[in-house]
A = this chain, B = another copy of it.
Amino acid sequence: MSTRKPKPAADTSEQILDLAENLIQTMGYSAFSYQDISSALGITKPSIHYHFPSKAELGTAVIERYAGRFGEALAAIEQDQSKSSVAMLERYFEPFLQFSKTPNKVCLCGALAGEMMALPPPMHDRADRFFKDHHAWLTAILKRGADRGEFRMSAPVAKTARMIFSALQGALLVKRTTGDASEVRDVVAAIKAQLAAA
Q: Residues on A close to B: CB < 8 A?
A: 26-28, 30-31, 104, 106, 109-118, 124, 127-128, 131-132, 154-155, 158-160, 162-163, 165-171, 173-174, 176-179, 183, 186-187, 189-191, 193-194, 196-197
Q: Is the CB of A155 within 8 A of B28?
A: no
Q: Is the CB of A163 within 8 A of B178?
A: no
Please state the number of chain copies in the assembly: 2
What does DSSP make chain A's interface, helix, strand, loop or mixed?
A: helix
Rank and list the top 8 A-B pairs by shortest CB-CB distance, nearest first: A114-B114, A170-B170, A28-B115, A166-B170, A31-B118, A154-B197, A113-B173, A169-B170
A186 CB, nearest partner CB in chain B, Å: 4
In addition to A27-B117, A163-B190, 6 A-B residue pairs with Cβ atoms within 8 Å of each other are: A30-B115, A124-B177, A131-B177, A154-B197, A159-B189, A167-B170
